[in-house]
Structure 1
């Protein structure tokens, strides 16, 4: 058994989705900010904890220390009905299995792609375990440490991980923290911070899959998407960027005004399996700015994504399979959810023209992303 195989206590093989039954039992109770912590099992002999954050409106967010992952987000629709708006699993064993397509995970040390699994930094070449998402055992497959932190009336959890020098082929001992804060205006704020003792590339993101219908739609193709970007990264097979930046106009990648995800997806599917594209955001200042909006007409839910990052990857759930069953034993479906991954551009370490992704000793990396949940009546 390797250290990433499971050792899970049967007593904790419980559903960790926030079901509508639980919500119904509590709907008449007074809402207040809270954090609940419980141990849900082990991975590789390490205890894994689940945190449930609730704000005074009744919105709830669940997190687990395996992969520093968002496992559930429960928000109201236009009629006030609470339901989950993200994909997830019922058990820790599923999160730690090959069925898990980075569900809600924190992704690093370098999210997305690095060509040929190699890069050269300060004259030295490094070879990685994989060309994608931080390696074979990236941050999404690690058990993080966590602690509750005090942020006025906003429940928050800080998760930390030490990525050791040489892990997955990357240089330097990298200390990473990700803080999740649930605010009373239904903002979920994600703050990233990192330091290193050797120069290393760093690209962090969160890989949550959204379906804003709350279970009313099995696919997310009717969701209207707006991305505040006039350019995107040209890519080749496997979604690897070529290094060229193209204009979105007169392409199926034009989401400068609201457009259903499914409207032009067949044009993209002529040469790839769907949308998996990096947008070059209009805001390149490093200051927090609106990056994207998604609106689901059936539920009335709207998601706004703010970030300090220069790019956002839009992924249309192209590889979700009905062979895999998610929360409440419901099979996934292709295009059944979408991701909006705020981040620096893929393969930046091998593309000098792209914004810098190298973190050096005595520097502090910081980044913030906000998922704001709204309702249109």
Structure 2
């Protein structure tokens, strides 16, 4: 069932919009709850998801995303692994922090070795967004000024989170600009369906509807080639344990220290599905984006302590980041990521939770 709701002046198509959902609000923090007890907490710093509480097959609730109890920890932690945030203006890497657009070369901060990553030194994850709520949604808005982090154009961005009674967390992204600019937005939540303090995600079963991945070079920049997944550790066309092939002797796995690759999505109705056999929790991913970046938390090292007091260690979670392809501004053969004046950027991703 599809109904039309109005959020901050936009007509937004959402499944299952009903009037009894509740939103709690205190400065900089929002809580969404549905009639089944699912709860999503959000923060205006980085327009981020700070917790998602969902039941297991026995009805016991657990928070299934990594993060901190105190919002200040997101700001002051020495390492900032993008827990739960919106990243931009451009998610993923841009080679050498440079791109040419309409005859002009732009230089961005090289904040990831020789390359640019997730928006720069102060990307969308490290700024305060303006929040507003309705009975079932929270909308965050931000104005990225011309020249911010080296990007051209003043970009007006809106991210809308909606929780439905079907246990769907819907994320909608909208943007407009006054100059041509690259844009690639995603959410960087780390999931562990056993609960955010669990030690590993390697026993989770994962399926991704993708026949190919993007080959990357030694700096994790796409080469432009698409590699078929068939017969490789990247074949998730049928569900398999995340850890089954993660340490296989494959050059692409060695580059990423595990999975840190863009999967080129097919046209199936569900782009990915993650399942924890112990708890019975399942999460489906549905998106309008052409790719999913699978990242298996390869660089968590145990020095960050999360909400439950447990240390977040390597492969204790994974990210399924729906997005366009990294380095697209330098790869004209990739799907277009240039937004121009008069155009409107729109993207939608659904994380649908259930139990088996």
TM-score, length of structure 2 as denominator length? 0.90
Residues 20-45 of structure 1, C-alpha deviations (whole Å, 9 max, x = no match): xxxxxxxxxxxx62111113xxxxxx
Contact 2:65–2:196 (CA under 8 A) maintained in structure 1: no
Determine the structure 2 residue equivalent to 1:241.
Answer: 222
Q: Secondary structure at the match of 2:341?
A: coil
Alpha-carbon distance, 1:331 to partner: 0.7
Determine the structure 2 residue equivalent to 1:273.
Answer: 257
Quick one: distance in 2 between partners of 1:148 and 1:164? Answer: 24
Alpha-carbon distance, 1:239 to partner: 1.6
Determine the structure 1 residue equivalent to 2:355.
Answer: 375
Quick one: distance in 1 between partners of 2:158 and 2:351? Answer: 18
Comparing 273-282 with 321-330, which one deviates more in the overlay?
321-330
Q: Secondary structure at the match of 1:219?
A: coil
1:34 equivalent among 22, 26, 29: 22
Determine the structure 2 residue equivalent to 1:177.
Answer: 158
* Aligned Cα root-mean-square deviation (Å): 1.3
Determine the structure 1 residue equivalent to 2:199.
Answer: 218
Matched, 1:81 2:65: no
Matched, 1:138 2:123: yes
Contact 1:289–1:308 (CA under 8 A) maintained in structure 2: no
Quick one: distance in 1 between partners of 2:334 and 2:254? Answer: 28
Residues 84-114 of structure 1, C-alpha deviations (whole Å, 9 max, x = no match): 0110101122111233310000010000010
Comparing 53-62 with 94-103, which one deviates more in the overlay?
94-103
Determine the structure 2 residue equivalent to 1:11.
Answer: none
The equivalences for 1:262-301 within 5 A come to 262-267=243-248, 268=250, 269-283=253-267, 289-301=269-281
Contact 2:170–2:350 (CA under 8 A) maintained in structure 1: yes
Contact 2:291–2:324 (CA under 8 A) maintained in structure 1: yes
Alpha-carbon distance, 1:216 to partner: 7.3
Quick one: distance in 2 between partners of 1:270 and 1:108? Answer: 27
Which structure dedicates a bigger proportion of its chain to strand?
2
Cα gap change, 1:167/1:216 in structure 2, threshold over 3 Å: closer, same or farther? Answer: closer
TM-score, length of structure 1 as denominator length? 0.85
* Structure 1, unpaired ranges of 5+: 1-31, 40-48
The equivalences for 1:190-205 within 5 A come to 190-205=171-186
Contact 1:214–1:299 (CA under 8 A) maintained in structure 2: no
Quick one: distance in 2 between partners of 1:352 and 1:185? Answer: 39
Cα gap change, 1:272/1:179 in structure 2, threshold over 3 Å: closer, same or farther? Answer: closer
Residues 253-299 of structure 1, C-alpha deviations (whole Å, 9 max, x = no match): 1101001100001015544311001001012xxxx942100010000
Alpha-carbon distance, 1:238 to partner: 2.8
Contact 1:68–1:105 (CA under 8 A) maintained in structure 2: yes
Aligned residues: 328
Determine the structure 2 residue equivalent to 1:21.
Answer: none
Quick one: distance in 1 between partners of 2:196 and 2:176? Answer: 40
Determine the structure 1 residue equivalent to 2:47.
Answer: 68
2:95 equivalent among 97, 109, 115: 115
Quick one: distance in 2 between partners of 1:213 and 1:343? Answer: 25
Contact 2:197–2:312 (CA under 8 A) maintained in structure 1: no
Quick one: distance in 1 between partners of 2:240 and 2:265? Answer: 17
Alpha-carbon distance, 1:217 to partner: 3.5
Comparing 95-104 with 178-187, which one deviates more in the overlay?
95-104
* Structure 2, unpaired ranges of 5+: 1-19, 111-115
Q: Secondary structure at the match of 1:327?
A: coil
Determine the structure 2 residue equivalent to 1:92.
Answer: 71
Quick one: distance in 1 between partners of 2:183 and 2:21? Answer: 34
Quick one: distance in 2 between partners of 1:205 and 1:133? Answer: 9
Determine the structure 2 residue equivalent to 1:10.
Answer: none
Quick one: distance in 2 between partners of 1:163 and 1:199? Answer: 13
Contact 1:90–1:329 (CA under 8 A) maintained in structure 2: no
Determine the structure 2 residue equivalent to 1:188.
Answer: 169
